Structure 1
Protein backbone atom coordinates (compact mmCIF):
# COMPACT_ATOMS: atom_id res chain seq x y z
CA UNK A 1 0.00 0.00 0.00
CA UNK A 2 1.52 3.30 -1.11
CA UNK A 3 0.65 5.33 1.96
CA UNK A 4 0.34 3.59 5.31
CA UNK A 5 -0.45 6.87 7.07
CA UNK A 6 -3.53 7.41 4.91
CA UNK A 7 -4.66 3.81 5.41
CA UNK A 8 -4.24 4.16 9.17
CA UNK A 9 -6.22 7.40 9.18
CA UNK A 10 -9.00 5.79 7.13
CA UNK A 11 -9.13 2.75 9.39
CA UNK A 12 -9.22 4.92 12.50
CA UNK A 13 -12.07 7.04 11.13
CA UNK A 14 -14.09 3.97 10.16
CA UNK A 15 -13.57 2.43 13.60
CA UNK A 16 -14.77 5.69 15.18
CA UNK A 17 -17.93 5.67 13.05
CA UNK A 18 -18.59 2.01 13.85
CA UNK A 19 -18.36 2.68 17.57
CA UNK A 20 -20.60 5.75 17.25
CA UNK A 21 -23.14 3.54 15.50
CA UNK A 22 -22.97 1.11 18.43
CA UNK A 23 -22.01 -1.82 16.20
CA UNK A 24 -19.65 -4.66 16.94
CA UNK A 25 -17.23 -5.89 14.29
CA UNK A 26 -19.47 -8.90 13.69
CA UNK A 27 -22.64 -6.84 13.29
CA UNK A 28 -21.01 -4.21 11.05
CA UNK A 29 -19.60 -6.99 8.86
CA UNK A 30 -22.98 -8.69 8.66
CA UNK A 31 -24.80 -5.51 7.58
CA UNK A 32 -22.09 -4.63 5.04
CA UNK A 33 -22.02 -8.14 3.60
CA UNK A 34 -18.34 -8.52 4.48
CA UNK A 35 -16.45 -10.97 6.64
CA UNK A 36 -15.43 -9.99 10.15
CA UNK A 37 -11.81 -10.46 9.11
CA UNK A 38 -12.26 -8.04 6.21
CA UNK A 39 -13.69 -5.29 8.43
CA UNK A 40 -10.91 -5.87 10.94
CA UNK A 41 -8.25 -5.57 8.22
CA UNK A 42 -9.76 -2.29 7.03
CA UNK A 43 -9.74 -0.82 10.54
CA UNK A 44 -6.19 -2.02 11.18
CA UNK A 45 -4.92 -0.64 7.84
CA UNK A 46 -3.76 -4.01 6.62
CA UNK A 47 -3.28 -5.10 3.00
CA UNK A 48 -6.24 -5.73 0.72
CA UNK A 49 -8.39 -2.64 1.37
CA UNK A 50 -10.59 -1.87 -1.63
CA UNK A 51 -12.79 1.10 -2.39
CA UNK A 52 -15.79 -1.22 -2.87
CA UNK A 53 -15.37 -2.76 0.59
CA UNK A 54 -15.01 0.65 2.21
CA UNK A 55 -18.14 1.90 0.39
CA UNK A 56 -20.16 -1.08 1.62
CA UNK A 57 -18.99 -0.46 5.16
CA UNK A 58 -19.83 3.25 4.99
CA UNK A 59 -23.40 2.42 3.94
CA UNK A 60 -23.70 -0.12 6.75
CA UNK A 61 -22.53 2.43 9.31
CA UNK A 62 -24.93 5.10 8.07
CA UNK A 63 -22.16 7.69 7.63
CA UNK A 64 -23.47 11.14 6.54
CA UNK A 65 -22.95 12.02 2.86
CA UNK A 66 -20.20 14.65 3.23
CA UNK A 67 -18.16 12.41 5.51
CA UNK A 68 -18.92 9.40 3.33
CA UNK A 69 -17.60 11.23 0.26
CA UNK A 70 -14.43 12.21 2.11
CA UNK A 71 -13.72 8.65 3.27
CA UNK A 72 -14.47 7.19 -0.15
CA UNK A 73 -11.99 9.65 -1.62
CA UNK A 74 -9.39 8.53 0.93
CA UNK A 75 -10.00 4.89 -0.03
CA UNK A 76 -9.69 5.72 -3.72
CA UNK A 77 -6.35 7.44 -3.16
CA UNK A 78 -4.74 4.76 -0.99
CA UNK A 79 -2.57 3.40 -3.78
CA UNK A 80 -1.83 6.75 -5.39
CA UNK A 81 1.53 8.19 -4.34
CA UNK A 82 1.20 11.46 -2.43
CA UNK A 83 3.38 14.43 -3.37
CA UNK A 84 5.57 14.05 -0.29
CA UNK A 85 6.45 10.48 -1.22
CA UNK A 86 8.58 11.68 -4.13
CA UNK A 87 10.73 13.89 -1.93
CA UNK A 88 13.95 12.40 -0.62
CA UNK A 89 14.55 12.77 3.08
CA UNK A 90 10.90 12.72 4.16
CA UNK A 91 10.93 10.44 7.17
CA UNK A 92 8.00 8.31 8.27
CA UNK A 93 7.36 10.77 11.12
CA UNK A 94 7.28 13.75 8.75
CA UNK A 95 5.07 11.86 6.29
CA UNK A 96 2.57 11.18 9.08
CA UNK A 97 2.58 14.88 10.04
CA UNK A 98 2.11 16.01 6.43
CA UNK A 99 -0.81 13.63 6.00
CA UNK A 100 -2.40 15.00 9.17
CA UNK A 101 -1.90 18.56 7.94
CA UNK A 102 -3.52 17.69 4.62
CA UNK A 103 -6.63 16.42 6.42
CA UNK A 104 -6.89 19.07 9.15
CA UNK A 105 -9.56 21.74 9.02
CA UNK A 106 -7.74 23.89 11.59
CA UNK A 107 -4.15 23.95 12.84
CA UNK A 108 -3.11 25.88 15.95
CA UNK A 109 0.59 26.52 16.48
CA UNK A 110 2.31 27.45 19.73
CA UNK A 111 5.88 28.49 19.05
CA UNK A 112 8.24 30.20 21.53
CA UNK A 113 11.40 30.08 19.39
CA UNK A 114 10.82 30.46 15.62
CA UNK A 115 8.11 31.44 13.14
CA UNK A 116 5.81 28.45 12.52
CA UNK A 117 6.94 26.34 9.57
CA UNK A 118 3.73 26.86 7.58
CA UNK A 119 4.30 30.63 7.73
CA UNK A 120 8.02 30.77 7.00
CA UNK A 121 9.55 32.44 3.96
CA UNK A 122 12.10 30.50 1.92
CA UNK A 123 14.99 32.64 3.17
CA UNK A 124 13.93 32.26 6.81
CA UNK A 125 13.64 28.49 6.43
CA UNK A 126 17.05 28.36 4.77
CA UNK A 127 18.62 30.25 7.66
CA UNK A 128 17.08 27.80 10.15
CA UNK A 129 18.35 24.71 8.32
CA UNK A 130 21.80 26.18 7.69
CA UNK A 131 22.11 26.91 11.42
CA UNK A 132 21.40 23.22 12.02
CA UNK A 133 24.34 22.32 9.78
CA UNK A 134 22.46 20.80 6.84
CA UNK A 135 24.29 20.65 3.51
CA UNK A 136 23.11 22.57 0.46
CA UNK A 137 21.27 19.62 -1.12
CA UNK A 138 19.53 18.64 2.11
CA UNK A 139 18.60 22.25 2.77
CA UNK A 140 17.13 22.73 -0.72
CA UNK A 141 15.06 19.54 -0.35
CA UNK A 142 13.83 20.51 3.12
CA UNK A 143 12.81 23.98 1.89
CA UNK A 144 10.92 22.45 -1.05
CA UNK A 145 8.98 20.16 1.28
CA UNK A 146 8.13 22.99 3.68
CA UNK A 147 6.99 25.28 0.85
CA UNK A 148 4.82 22.50 -0.58
CA UNK A 149 3.25 21.93 2.83
CA UNK A 150 2.16 25.57 2.89
CA UNK A 151 -0.18 24.88 -0.03
CA UNK A 152 -2.93 23.82 2.39
CA UNK A 153 -3.33 27.50 3.33
CA UNK A 154 -4.03 28.59 -0.25
CA UNK A 155 -6.21 25.85 -1.75
CA UNK A 156 -9.87 26.44 -2.64
CA UNK A 157 -10.99 25.30 0.82
CA UNK A 158 -7.97 26.43 2.83
CA UNK A 159 -6.97 25.11 6.21
CA UNK A 160 -7.55 27.57 9.05
CA UNK A 161 -4.34 28.42 10.91
CA UNK A 162 -3.89 30.15 14.26
CA UNK A 163 -0.36 30.89 15.45
CA UNK A 164 0.60 31.93 18.98
CA UNK A 165 4.10 33.36 18.60
CA UNK A 166 6.32 34.61 21.41
CA UNK A 167 7.55 38.20 21.01
CA UNK A 168 11.16 37.03 21.28
CA UNK A 169 10.70 35.36 17.86
CA UNK A 170 10.17 38.80 16.28
CA UNK A 171 13.24 40.23 17.97
CA UNK A 172 15.65 37.53 16.76
CA UNK A 173 17.27 38.49 13.38
CA UNK A 174 17.18 35.00 11.87
CA UNK A 175 19.23 35.08 8.67
CA UNK A 176 20.17 38.71 9.30
CA UNK A 177 18.11 41.93 9.24
CA UNK A 178 17.01 41.59 5.59
CA UNK A 179 15.67 38.04 6.01
CA UNK A 180 14.06 38.94 9.34
CA UNK A 181 12.38 42.00 7.82
CA UNK A 182 11.11 39.99 4.85
CA UNK A 183 9.65 37.40 7.23
CA UNK A 184 7.80 40.01 9.27
CA UNK A 185 6.43 41.66 6.12
CA UNK A 186 5.13 38.26 5.10
CA UNK A 187 3.49 37.69 8.50
CA UNK A 188 1.78 41.07 8.25
CA UNK A 189 0.50 40.17 4.78
CA UNK A 190 -0.80 36.66 5.47
CA UNK A 191 -2.38 37.62 8.79
CA UNK A 192 -4.90 39.63 6.76
CA UNK A 193 -6.21 36.46 5.13
CA UNK A 194 -9.52 35.25 6.60
CA UNK A 195 -8.12 31.77 7.34
CA UNK A 196 -4.91 32.90 9.11
CA UNK A 197 -4.59 34.48 12.55
CA UNK A 198 -1.27 35.46 14.13
CA UNK A 199 -1.32 36.42 17.81
CA UNK A 200 1.77 37.58 19.65
CA UNK A 201 2.57 36.64 23.23
CA UNK A 202 4.11 39.82 24.55
CA UNK A 203 7.25 39.74 26.69
CA UNK A 204 5.26 41.86 29.14
CA UNK A 205 3.20 38.77 29.96
CA UNK A 206 6.27 37.23 31.59
CA UNK A 207 6.12 33.47 32.01
CA UNK A 208 3.35 31.71 30.12
CA UNK A 209 2.37 28.10 29.47
CA UNK A 210 3.60 28.23 25.87
CA UNK A 211 7.26 28.45 26.84
CA UNK A 212 7.74 24.69 27.30
CA UNK A 213 8.24 24.00 23.60
CA UNK A 214 6.78 24.09 20.12
CA UNK A 215 3.67 22.09 19.29
CA UNK A 216 0.67 22.20 16.99
CA UNK A 217 -2.92 21.06 17.49
CA UNK A 218 -4.72 19.74 14.42
CA UNK A 219 -8.51 19.56 14.34
CA UNK A 220 -9.76 16.84 11.99
CA UNK A 221 -13.00 16.63 9.95
CA UNK A 222 -14.24 13.71 12.05
CA UNK A 223 -14.10 15.78 15.25
CA UNK A 224 -10.89 14.20 16.53
CA UNK A 225 -7.85 16.22 17.58
CA UNK A 226 -4.21 15.36 16.94
CA UNK A 227 -1.23 17.02 18.61
CA UNK A 228 2.21 17.21 17.05
CA UNK A 229 5.12 17.76 19.42
CA UNK A 230 8.17 19.03 17.60
CA UNK A 231 11.84 18.76 18.53
CA UNK A 232 14.97 19.28 16.46
CA UNK A 233 15.44 15.69 15.30
CA UNK A 234 12.11 14.06 16.01
CA UNK A 235 8.41 14.58 16.36
CA UNK A 236 5.48 12.73 17.86
CA UNK A 237 1.77 12.62 17.03
CA UNK A 238 -0.68 12.18 19.89
CA UNK A 239 -4.40 11.52 19.45
CA UNK A 240 -5.62 9.94 22.68
CA UNK A 241 -7.86 12.32 24.61
CA UNK A 242 -5.88 12.20 27.90
CA UNK A 243 -2.74 13.15 25.94
CA UNK A 244 -4.43 15.85 23.88
CA UNK A 245 -6.37 17.62 26.65
CA UNK A 246 -3.38 19.42 28.29
CA UNK A 247 -2.47 21.00 24.95
CA UNK A 248 -6.04 22.19 24.40
CA UNK A 249 -5.91 23.71 27.87
CA UNK A 250 -2.66 25.47 27.00
CA UNK A 251 -4.22 27.06 23.92
CA UNK A 252 -7.23 28.26 25.91
CA UNK A 253 -4.88 29.84 28.44
CA UNK A 254 -2.78 31.53 25.75
CA UNK A 255 -5.85 32.88 23.97
CA UNK A 256 -6.62 34.90 27.11
CA UNK A 257 -3.23 36.65 27.26
CA UNK A 258 -2.13 36.91 23.61
CA UNK A 259 -2.42 40.21 21.75
CA UNK A 260 -5.42 40.62 19.45
CA UNK A 261 -5.14 41.15 15.69
CA UNK A 262 -4.74 44.92 15.86
CA UNK A 263 -2.09 44.95 18.59
CA UNK A 264 -0.26 42.04 16.95
CA UNK A 265 -0.10 43.95 13.66
CA UNK A 266 1.27 47.02 15.44
CA UNK A 267 3.98 44.95 17.12
CA UNK A 268 4.91 43.19 13.88
CA UNK A 269 5.21 46.58 12.15
CA UNK A 270 7.37 47.97 14.96
CA UNK A 271 9.83 45.06 14.78
CA UNK A 272 9.80 45.29 10.98
CA UNK A 273 10.95 48.91 11.23
CA UNK A 274 13.61 47.87 13.73
CA UNK A 275 15.08 45.25 11.39
CA UNK A 276 14.84 47.59 8.39
CA UNK A 277 16.78 50.23 10.28
CA UNK A 278 19.66 47.76 10.59
CA UNK A 279 20.00 47.31 6.83
Structure 2
Protein backbone atom coordinates (compact mmCIF):
# COMPACT_ATOMS: atom_id res chain seq x y z
CA UNK A 1 0.00 0.00 0.00
CA UNK A 2 1.43 3.45 -0.92
CA UNK A 3 2.36 5.69 2.00
CA UNK A 4 -0.39 8.08 3.01
CA UNK A 5 0.30 11.71 2.14
CA UNK A 6 1.52 13.87 5.04
CA UNK A 7 -0.22 17.22 4.93
CA UNK A 8 1.21 18.96 7.99
CA UNK A 9 4.22 21.29 8.02
CA UNK A 10 2.83 24.01 5.76
CA UNK A 11 0.37 26.87 6.26
CA UNK A 12 -2.01 26.31 9.19
CA UNK A 13 -4.55 28.94 8.05
CA UNK A 14 -7.30 26.80 6.45
CA UNK A 15 -8.01 28.79 3.27
CA UNK A 16 -4.33 29.41 2.54
CA UNK A 17 -3.52 25.78 3.24
CA UNK A 18 -6.19 24.64 0.76
CA UNK A 19 -4.95 26.99 -1.98
CA UNK A 20 -1.36 26.00 -1.30
CA UNK A 21 -2.07 22.30 -1.71
CA UNK A 22 -3.98 22.86 -4.96
CA UNK A 23 -1.07 24.79 -6.45
CA UNK A 24 1.49 22.22 -5.30
CA UNK A 25 -0.42 19.30 -6.84
CA UNK A 26 -0.89 21.09 -10.15
CA UNK A 27 2.74 22.19 -10.44
CA UNK A 28 4.00 18.72 -9.53
CA UNK A 29 2.22 17.45 -12.64
CA UNK A 30 3.32 20.44 -14.75
CA UNK A 31 -0.27 21.29 -15.68
CA UNK A 32 -1.55 24.61 -16.96
CA UNK A 33 -4.92 25.89 -15.78
CA UNK A 34 -6.23 25.30 -19.29
CA UNK A 35 -5.08 21.68 -19.31
CA UNK A 36 -6.67 21.10 -15.90
CA UNK A 37 -9.92 22.70 -17.05
CA UNK A 38 -10.01 20.57 -20.19
CA UNK A 39 -9.38 17.41 -18.17
CA UNK A 40 -12.10 18.07 -15.59
CA UNK A 41 -14.67 20.03 -17.59
CA UNK A 42 -14.56 23.32 -15.65
CA UNK A 43 -13.45 26.73 -16.86
CA UNK A 44 -9.73 27.24 -16.36
CA UNK A 45 -10.32 30.51 -14.52
CA UNK A 46 -11.99 28.61 -11.67
CA UNK A 47 -8.76 26.78 -10.85
CA UNK A 48 -6.82 30.02 -11.02
CA UNK A 49 -9.21 31.64 -8.54
CA UNK A 50 -8.99 28.61 -6.24
CA UNK A 51 -5.20 28.85 -6.08
CA UNK A 52 -5.33 32.62 -5.55
CA UNK A 53 -7.73 32.09 -2.63
CA UNK A 54 -10.36 34.18 -4.41
CA UNK A 55 -12.99 31.43 -4.14
CA UNK A 56 -13.45 28.09 -2.40
CA UNK A 57 -15.55 26.48 -5.12
CA UNK A 58 -17.93 23.70 -4.19
CA UNK A 59 -17.51 20.10 -3.00
CA UNK A 60 -18.21 18.68 -6.47
CA UNK A 61 -15.16 20.33 -8.08
CA UNK A 62 -12.98 19.45 -5.08
CA UNK A 63 -14.06 15.80 -5.27
CA UNK A 64 -13.17 15.82 -8.98
CA UNK A 65 -9.73 17.18 -8.14
CA UNK A 66 -9.22 14.54 -5.45
CA UNK A 67 -10.03 11.84 -8.01
CA UNK A 68 -7.86 13.38 -10.72
CA UNK A 69 -4.82 13.84 -8.47
CA UNK A 70 -5.25 10.49 -6.69
CA UNK A 71 -5.60 12.10 -3.25
CA UNK A 72 -8.84 10.51 -2.00
CA UNK A 73 -10.42 12.65 0.69
CA UNK A 74 -7.41 14.94 1.24
CA UNK A 75 -8.51 17.98 -0.74
CA UNK A 76 -12.10 17.65 0.42
CA UNK A 77 -10.97 17.55 4.04
CA UNK A 78 -8.92 20.70 3.48
CA UNK A 79 -11.85 22.32 1.68
CA UNK A 80 -14.18 21.49 4.58
CA UNK A 81 -11.72 23.10 6.97
CA UNK A 82 -11.48 26.19 4.78
CA UNK A 83 -15.25 26.42 4.43
CA UNK A 84 -15.65 25.70 8.12
CA UNK A 85 -13.35 28.58 8.92
CA UNK A 86 -16.26 30.75 7.84
CA UNK A 87 -18.64 28.70 10.01
CA UNK A 88 -16.57 28.89 13.21
CA UNK A 89 -15.17 25.37 13.13
CA UNK A 90 -13.35 24.68 16.36
CA UNK A 91 -9.58 24.56 16.07
CA UNK A 92 -9.31 21.07 17.51
CA UNK A 93 -11.74 19.74 14.88
CA UNK A 94 -9.74 21.40 12.12
CA UNK A 95 -6.65 19.58 13.33
CA UNK A 96 -8.55 16.31 13.55
CA UNK A 97 -9.72 16.65 9.94
CA UNK A 98 -6.15 17.07 8.75
CA UNK A 99 -5.04 14.02 10.71
CA UNK A 100 -7.95 11.96 9.38
CA UNK A 101 -6.81 12.69 5.83
CA UNK A 102 -3.30 11.41 6.71
CA UNK A 103 -4.27 8.34 8.74
CA UNK A 104 -2.80 4.94 7.89
CA UNK A 105 -5.76 3.20 9.56
CA UNK A 106 -8.92 4.19 11.44
CA UNK A 107 -11.16 2.45 13.94
CA UNK A 108 -14.38 3.76 15.45
CA UNK A 109 -17.15 3.14 17.95
CA UNK A 110 -20.62 4.57 17.25
CA UNK A 111 -22.92 5.09 20.24
CA UNK A 112 -26.10 6.47 18.68
CA UNK A 113 -25.65 7.54 15.04
CA UNK A 114 -24.00 6.16 11.92
CA UNK A 115 -20.41 7.47 11.62
CA UNK A 116 -19.98 10.29 9.12
CA UNK A 117 -17.77 8.22 6.81
CA UNK A 118 -20.63 5.74 6.35
CA UNK A 119 -23.59 8.10 6.07
CA UNK A 120 -25.82 8.53 3.03
CA UNK A 121 -26.69 12.04 1.90
CA UNK A 122 -30.20 11.76 3.37
CA UNK A 123 -28.87 10.58 6.73
CA UNK A 124 -26.25 13.33 6.82
CA UNK A 125 -28.85 15.94 5.95
CA UNK A 126 -31.14 14.95 8.83
CA UNK A 127 -28.29 14.77 11.35
CA UNK A 128 -26.77 18.10 10.30
CA UNK A 129 -30.19 19.77 10.27
CA UNK A 130 -30.67 18.70 13.88
CA UNK A 131 -27.43 20.51 14.63
CA UNK A 132 -28.88 23.75 13.30
CA UNK A 133 -27.59 23.84 9.70
CA UNK A 134 -30.06 25.03 7.05
CA UNK A 135 -30.30 26.35 3.51
CA UNK A 136 -27.07 26.67 1.55
CA UNK A 137 -24.98 25.92 4.63
CA UNK A 138 -26.78 22.60 5.06
CA UNK A 139 -26.29 21.69 1.39
CA UNK A 140 -22.60 22.55 1.61
CA UNK A 141 -22.07 20.57 4.82
CA UNK A 142 -23.87 17.53 3.42
CA UNK A 143 -21.75 17.63 0.28
CA UNK A 144 -18.56 17.88 2.30
CA UNK A 145 -19.52 15.02 4.61
CA UNK A 146 -20.47 12.69 1.78
CA UNK A 147 -17.33 13.58 -0.11
CA UNK A 148 -15.22 12.44 2.84
CA UNK A 149 -16.23 8.88 1.97
CA UNK A 150 -13.61 9.05 -0.79
CA UNK A 151 -11.09 8.48 2.01
CA UNK A 152 -12.35 4.88 2.24
CA UNK A 153 -12.43 4.23 -1.50
CA UNK A 154 -9.71 3.42 -3.99
CA UNK A 155 -6.78 1.02 -4.07
CA UNK A 156 -4.80 2.86 -1.37
CA UNK A 157 -7.71 3.42 1.01
CA UNK A 158 -6.76 2.83 4.67
CA UNK A 159 -8.33 0.05 6.76
CA UNK A 160 -11.41 1.20 8.66
CA UNK A 161 -13.29 -0.67 11.40
CA UNK A 162 -16.53 0.60 12.91
CA UNK A 163 -18.37 -0.98 15.82
CA UNK A 164 -22.01 0.10 15.77
CA UNK A 165 -24.11 0.04 18.90
CA UNK A 166 -27.44 -1.71 18.26
CA UNK A 167 -29.03 1.65 19.11
CA UNK A 168 -27.56 3.03 15.87
CA UNK A 169 -29.42 0.41 13.86
CA UNK A 170 -32.71 0.84 15.72
CA UNK A 171 -32.93 4.62 15.46
CA UNK A 172 -34.49 5.30 12.05
CA UNK A 173 -34.71 8.43 9.96
CA UNK A 174 -38.01 10.24 9.60
CA UNK A 175 -38.36 8.89 6.06
CA UNK A 176 -38.44 5.08 6.28
CA UNK A 177 -37.35 4.66 2.67
CA UNK A 178 -34.26 6.78 3.29
CA UNK A 179 -33.59 4.75 6.43
CA UNK A 180 -33.69 1.49 4.47
CA UNK A 181 -31.28 3.00 1.94
CA UNK A 182 -28.89 3.90 4.78
CA UNK A 183 -28.94 0.33 6.08
CA UNK A 184 -28.37 -1.01 2.57
CA UNK A 185 -25.47 1.41 2.20
CA UNK A 186 -23.90 -0.02 5.36
CA UNK A 187 -24.11 -3.49 3.87
CA UNK A 188 -22.54 -2.29 0.63
CA UNK A 189 -19.69 -0.48 2.36
CA UNK A 190 -19.11 -3.51 4.57
CA UNK A 191 -18.34 -5.55 1.45
CA UNK A 192 -15.25 -3.46 0.74
CA UNK A 193 -11.99 -5.19 1.57
CA UNK A 194 -10.70 -2.35 3.76
CA UNK A 195 -13.91 -1.88 5.78
CA UNK A 196 -14.99 -4.04 8.73
CA UNK A 197 -18.32 -3.53 10.49
CA UNK A 198 -19.34 -5.05 13.82
CA UNK A 199 -22.52 -4.68 15.86
CA UNK A 200 -22.65 -4.42 19.64
CA UNK A 201 -25.96 -5.93 20.76
CA UNK A 202 -27.88 -4.34 23.62
CA UNK A 203 -27.95 -7.73 25.31
CA UNK A 204 -24.14 -7.53 25.73
CA UNK A 205 -24.72 -5.12 28.62
CA UNK A 206 -23.12 -1.76 29.35
CA UNK A 207 -19.98 -1.26 27.23
CA UNK A 208 -16.80 0.41 28.42
CA UNK A 209 -17.44 3.43 26.15
CA UNK A 210 -21.00 4.16 27.24
CA UNK A 211 -21.70 7.65 25.87
CA UNK A 212 -18.84 8.73 23.64
CA UNK A 213 -18.38 8.34 19.90
CA UNK A 214 -14.68 7.56 19.51
CA UNK A 215 -12.43 7.50 16.44
CA UNK A 216 -8.84 6.30 16.59
CA UNK A 217 -6.29 7.30 13.96
CA UNK A 218 -2.96 5.58 13.30
CA UNK A 219 -0.69 8.32 11.98
CA UNK A 220 2.29 8.26 9.64
CA UNK A 221 4.69 8.94 12.52
CA UNK A 222 3.53 5.81 14.38
CA UNK A 223 1.38 7.62 16.94
CA UNK A 224 -2.27 6.87 17.63
CA UNK A 225 -4.61 9.73 18.47
CA UNK A 226 -8.31 9.70 19.29
CA UNK A 227 -11.24 11.98 18.59
CA UNK A 228 -14.00 11.74 21.21
CA UNK A 229 -17.35 13.37 20.55
CA UNK A 230 -20.64 13.88 22.36
CA UNK A 231 -23.77 15.64 21.11
CA UNK A 232 -22.36 18.98 22.28
CA UNK A 233 -18.60 18.90 21.86
CA UNK A 234 -15.58 17.03 20.58
CA UNK A 235 -11.97 16.75 21.64
CA UNK A 236 -8.75 15.56 20.07
CA UNK A 237 -6.87 13.29 22.49
CA UNK A 238 -3.13 13.02 21.79
CA UNK A 239 -1.59 12.28 25.19
CA UNK A 240 -0.37 8.68 25.09
CA UNK A 241 -1.76 7.51 28.44
CA UNK A 242 -5.21 8.91 27.68
CA UNK A 243 -5.29 7.31 24.23
CA UNK A 244 -4.26 3.98 25.74
CA UNK A 245 -7.10 4.14 28.27
CA UNK A 246 -9.59 4.81 25.47
CA UNK A 247 -8.08 2.00 23.41
CA UNK A 248 -8.53 -0.40 26.34
CA UNK A 249 -12.20 0.55 26.47
CA UNK A 250 -12.50 0.05 22.72
CA UNK A 251 -10.89 -3.39 22.96
CA UNK A 252 -13.46 -4.37 25.58
CA UNK A 253 -16.29 -3.20 23.31
CA UNK A 254 -14.80 -5.16 20.41
CA UNK A 255 -14.64 -8.30 22.55
CA UNK A 256 -18.38 -7.99 23.24
CA UNK A 257 -19.41 -7.23 19.66
CA UNK A 258 -20.74 -9.71 17.12
CA UNK A 259 -18.26 -11.08 14.61
CA UNK A 260 -18.15 -9.30 11.21
CA UNK A 261 -20.08 -12.19 9.63
CA UNK A 262 -22.80 -12.21 12.29
CA UNK A 263 -22.89 -8.43 12.22
CA UNK A 264 -23.60 -8.47 8.51
CA UNK A 265 -26.47 -10.90 9.10
CA UNK A 266 -27.86 -8.62 11.80
CA UNK A 267 -27.74 -5.55 9.54
CA UNK A 268 -29.42 -7.55 6.77
CA UNK A 269 -32.22 -8.38 9.21
CA UNK A 270 -32.59 -4.67 9.94
CA UNK A 271 -32.93 -4.04 6.20
CA UNK A 272 -35.72 -6.60 6.02
CA UNK A 273 -37.48 -5.05 9.00
CA UNK A 274 -37.23 -1.61 7.41
CA UNK A 275 -38.70 -2.95 4.17
CA UNK A 276 -41.59 -4.51 6.08
CA UNK A 277 -42.23 -1.24 7.93
CA UNK A 278 -42.70 0.49 4.59
CA UNK A 279 -45.51 -1.94 3.70
CA UNK A 280 -47.47 -1.29 6.87
Matches within 5 A, 1:173-212: 173-212=172-211
Residue deviations 1:64-97, cap 9 Å, x none? xxxxxxxxxxxxxxxxx94334424372333212
Shift of residue 244, structure 1, vs aligned partner = 0.6
- Give the 3 Å change call, closer, same or farther, for CA 221–2 of structure 1 in structure 2: closer
Counterpart of 1:83 in structure 2 is 79
Matches within 5 A, 1:40-189: 82-88=78-84, 89=87, 91=89, 92-189=91-188
Any unmatched runs of 5+ in structure 1?
6-80
Structure 1 residue 252, shift from structure 2 partner = 1.2
Residue 230 of structure 2 is matched in structure 1 by 231
Residue 155 (structure 1) shift: 3.4
Structure 1 position 229, deviation (Å): 1.1
| Structure 2 unaligned regions, length at least 5 | 1-9, 15-76
Q: Is the 8 A contact 2:211 2:230 kept in 1?
A: no
Alignment of 1:2 with 2:11, yes or no, is: yes
The answer to whether the 8 A contact 1:87-1:145 is kept is no
**CA distance in 1 between partners of 2:232 and 2:138 (Å):** 15
Q: Which residue in 1 is equivalent to 2:37?
A: none
Query: What are the Cα deviations for residues 115-168 of structure 1, in whole angstroms up to 9, with x where unaligned?
Result: 111111110011112223321222112112212222111133102111011011
Q: Note the C-alpha offset of 1:2.
A: 3.0
Contact 1:215 1:227 in 2 (8 A): yes
- Alignment check: 8 A CA contact 1:214 1:229 kept: yes
Name the TM-score, length of structure 2 as normaliser.
0.68
How many aligned positions are there? 204
Which moves more between the two structures, 222-231 or 83-92? Answer: 83-92
Correspondence for 1:78: none
**TM-aligned CA deviation for residue 243 of structure 1:** 1.3
| Bigger Rg, which one | 1
Single out whichever of 172-181 and 268-277 deviates more from structure 2.
Answer: 172-181
Asked if 1:254 corresponds to 2:253, the answer is yes
1:208 deviation in Å? 1.1
Q: Secondary structure at the match of 2:198?
A: strand
Look up the match of 2:19: none
